[in-house]
A and B are shown apart, each in its own frame.
Chain A
């Protein structure tokens, strides 16, 4: 793999837990790679599998969905619905040949700034070593 490949990672962070956790990482001046950009949603339950697919189809190399730990969801159990969708999506992505390291679901609480930084670091390096996904170009294959 080209050592200067910079993966593009889309992060869907839930407002109450993981986005606050990401902010905490900032307040504590922790450092992590800038390959991830976050989109704040109210609940990880907002994330529809087709949005993840579209993100990959548009050119993302990895997608991180982060929500509250089970039992802590601000909206009671939105994160459990996310988990249900994720498990089935993961099974389907296995068939598509999309490596599990590319699409991850993590529980990160508002107090876990360090965990957010750690997840981003490890995910960035894993996706970097897997190489670009480049899904758009695969579609043009006719030969």
Chain B
């Protein structure tokens, strides 16, 4: 038997040389009849006799049902009586009973990895009719397992401690739901949000489909609950700067900008904003209104205090204005401090939930629709703000250009979406539903108005969704046109929409007062940067990638990072909340024990052989490989490694090996197959 020697070329040839592995394990082979499942086709006695002749085998026996109590007892007793170091079980597929027999071996005092299974049933007796051939193949399977088990290392699971605290990044509905679930289970949550308040996109919504519930009414109480929860610590105006470590042991650095306003003292009187000279477009209203540099994000913001936007303030270093402070000191509660500085927080968490949400695709890129050329061409979120009672027009629908009530409104679905050439190739899932809602709400507010919806398809898969859309389609004053819009342009002072109705086969031209574009959802800005800090993979569109769409939809491939909400993929609120609770549950699973056991069959670097070429680094989907800045050679983070072995096959020097599935072991098994 040829074994890879451990001395580097200190012998005759640079190829494999003959060297015995010392000491040789005493191997016991147990061949199962499985009733007649195996014994009916395979000559079990012959397999036993042949096994006895293999080098290293000191004991071999057969049994009717090895997985039964007496069968397992036979294995356990034989280990003790025959002083076996390792065991081969020739029986059904390892998928069935590998764990069973590994436990038996463990109970007999041996390391679990001193047990190998030879599959002589699912890939033996059950698939080969010819008894001789099936038996011959069984000999091979047994021999393979013997050679492998002889070379197995006695590995112990890798135990890592778990910091029982969770970081949630993003304070939208997904982040809030996840944070609440973890906090209610009794663990500490640090909730990091980049803006001055939690609430996210859902706070900008007027109603939610399909029930037309008031969005803030649902969201508000959750925001308050999260803010007041003793287990949740909110870091607003904060961004994650650095993440080090691995699952169960992340070391996070967060940079928090100061609000310049003392939350405890501020009573939101607004005296500061009255005198502030700096005005900027209000992001909450999607730029439809203006706000001051010192402002409250929205009426139901949590905490309900003002915030100074230092980027748009006239200047703090040196102080250029200071009027807000003067006003507050005179008329308010003296809660403004312009001498504040950003704070850097460092803390440890065991799990991280990324719930970074979405923003809308830049509609100016859709030149055919003319967004940006006319104030009455709006995006869906802008229209949403207009619908909202807290919005720029207190809920009344008015043309942004001159304030008159629009009578003709055109909604364009799939604006710049499902279009690989000019826009986004994917579908944003929610636009058919919110457009229906928008059209319906327009109809309620402007009963004598006419709404047109240009659509390609209607995607209304959720509970009650189809019924809702059907209602909208049948409503008087709402006209659904199946077709695309070629162009939106201004002619003789009026906005004209030129499209087609494929069901009637006619082109359509509408003089619209307002045009609303259902633009696609894209990942929030900053999520790309965050993902690289987390070492979490993104998909081709920049959304957080899941480890497996069906087997592991709530986790990033990077261990310890969980994902929820629209930051993972476009989705509606019910799915977001469900996914957020799911991600929280995964994080709780991780936190349920103070330590974590990881499989030890991981990659290993032999430092003396590694030249730091770095080819293995991008191969790993779990970012478990890195180059040591001190030794300049590769190192494996055993806690992150999933043991797939793909890096081993990319290593040009053989410095990387996979524990208990080394090249030597594989070649020993190959030899067992081809040796006649």
Chain B positions within 8 Å of A85 at CB level: 649
Instruction: List the count of A-B residue pairs having beta carbons below 8 Å apart.
Output: 124
B226 nearest CB across to chain A (Å): 33
Chain A positions within 8 Å of B490 at CB level: none
Kindly state the separation between the CA atoms of A48 and B124 in the bound complex, as whole angstroms: 27
| Residues 34 to 79 of chain A near chain B (Cβ within 8 Å) | 34, 37-43, 45-51, 54-55, 58-60, 74-78
Kindly state the separation between the CA atoms of A48 and B675 in the bound complex, as whole angstroms: 21
Say whether A88 faces chain B, with CB atoms less than 8 Å apart: no
B671 nearest CB across to chain A (Å): 6
Among B129, B645, B646, B673, residue most surrounded by chain A Cβ atoms (within 10 Å): B646
| CB atoms of A40 and B128 under 8 A apart | no
Kindly state the separation between the CA atoms of A92 and B129 in the bound complex, as whole angstroms: 38
Known A-B contacts A31-B128, A59-B675; the reply to A51 vs B670 at CB < 8 A is: yes
How many A residues have CB within 8 A of the partner chain?
42
| CB atoms of B661 and A41 under 8 A apart | yes
Kindly state the separation between the CA atoms of A85 and B647 in the bound complex, as whole angstroms: 12
| CB atoms of A27 and B126 under 8 A apart | yes
Chain A positions within 8 Å of B95 at CB level: 19-20, 23
B325 nearest CB across to chain A (Å): 53
| CB atoms of A10 and B646 under 8 A apart | no
Kindly state the separation between the CA atoms of A143 and B482 in the bound complex, as whole angstroms: 78
Chain A positions within 8 Å of B675 at CB level: 59
Say whether A30 faces chain B, with CB atoms less than 8 Å apart: yes
**How does the 8 Å CB contact mask read for A4-22 relative to B, with 1 for contact and 0 for none?**
0000101000000001101
| CB atoms of A34 and B673 under 8 A apart | no
| CB atoms of A31 and B144 under 8 A apart | no
A55 nearest CB across to chain B (Å): 5
Kindly state the separation between the CA atoms of A77 and B644 in the bound complex, as whole angstroms: 10
Say whether B537 faces chain A, with CB atoms less than 8 Å apart: yes
Say whether A93 faces chain B, with CB atoms less than 8 Å apart: no
Say whether B666 faces chain A, with CB atoms less than 8 Å apart: yes
Say whether A103 faces chain B, with CB atoms less than 8 Å apart: no
Kindly state the separation between the CA atoms of A55 and B121 in the bound complex, as whole angstroms: 25
| CB atoms of B670 and A54 under 8 A apart | yes
| CB atoms of B646 and A37 under 8 A apart | no
Chain B positions within 8 Å of A45 at CB level: 644-646, 649
Kindly state the separation between the CA atoms of A81 and B671 in the bound complex, as whole angstroms: 25
B127 nearest CB across to chain A (Å): 5
**How does the 8 Å CB contact mask read for B638-676 relative to A, with 1 for contact and 0 for none?**
000011111011100000001001010011011101111
Partner of A34 from the list B130, B545, B644, B676 (CB cut-off 8 Å) is B130
Kindly state the separation between the CA atoms of A58 and B545 in the bound complex, as whole angstroms: 42
A37 nearest CB across to chain B (Å): 4
Across the interface, name the chain A residue whose C-beta is closest to B128. Answer: A34
Chain A positions within 8 Å of B78 at CB level: none
Kindly state the separation between the CA atoms of A34 and B139 in the bound complex, as whole angstroms: 12
Kindly state the separation between the CA atoms of A8 and B676 in the bound complex, as whole angstroms: 9
Chain A positions within 8 Å of B669 at CB level: 39
Chain A positions within 8 Å of B128 at CB level: 31-34
Across the interface, name the chain A residue whose C-beta is closest to B133. Answer: A34
Say whether B141 faces chain A, with CB atoms less than 8 Å apart: yes
Say whether B282 faces chain A, with CB atoms less than 8 Å apart: no
| CB atoms of B127 and A48 under 8 A apart | no
A74 nearest CB across to chain B (Å): 7
Across the interface, name the chain A residue whose C-beta is closest to B674. Answer: A59
Known A-B contacts A8-B673, A26-B122, A26-B123; the reply to A46 vs B661 at CB < 8 A is: yes
Chain A positions within 8 Å of B119 at CB level: 23, 38
Known A-B contacts A76-B537, A78-B646; the reply to A48 vs B663 at CB < 8 A is: yes
Kindly state the separation between the CA atoms of A55 and B669 in the bound complex, as whole angstroms: 10
Say whether B134 faces chain A, with CB atoms less than 8 Å apart: yes
Say whether A138 faces chain B, with CB atoms less than 8 Å apart: no
| Residues 113 to 144 of chain B near chain A (Cβ within 8 Å) | 119, 121-124, 126-130, 133-134, 136-137, 140-141, 144
| CB atoms of B127 and A31 under 8 A apart | yes
Say whether A29 faces chain B, with CB atoms less than 8 Å apart: yes
Chain B positions within 8 Å of A19 at CB level: 95
Kindly state the separation between the CA atoms of A54 and B2 in the bound complex, as whole angstroms: 13
Among B650, B661, B670, residue most surrounded by chain A Cβ atoms (within 10 Å): B670
Kindly state the separation between the CA atoms of A33 and B123 in the bound complex, as whole angstroms: 11
B residues lining the A interface (CB < 8 Å):
93-95, 119, 121-124, 126-130, 133-134, 136-137, 140-141, 144, 537, 545, 547-548, 551, 557, 601, 619, 621, 642-646, 648-650, 658, 661, 663, 666-667, 669-671, 673-676
What 6 A-B pairs come out closest when comparing CB atoms? A26-B122, A45-B646, A46-B645, A48-B649, A59-B674, A75-B644
With A33-B128, A76-B548 given, name 15 new contacts (CB 8 A): A10-B673, A23-B93, A26-B126, A27-B122, A29-B126, A37-B144, A41-B645, A41-B661, A41-B666, A42-B645, A45-B644, A48-B649, A58-B670, A75-B642, A78-B621
Can you report 13 residue pairs joining A to B where beta carbons are below 8 Å apart?
A: A23-B93, A27-B122, A34-B133, A34-B134, A41-B661, A42-B644, A46-B648, A47-B649, A55-B674, A58-B670, A59-B674, A76-B621, A81-B650
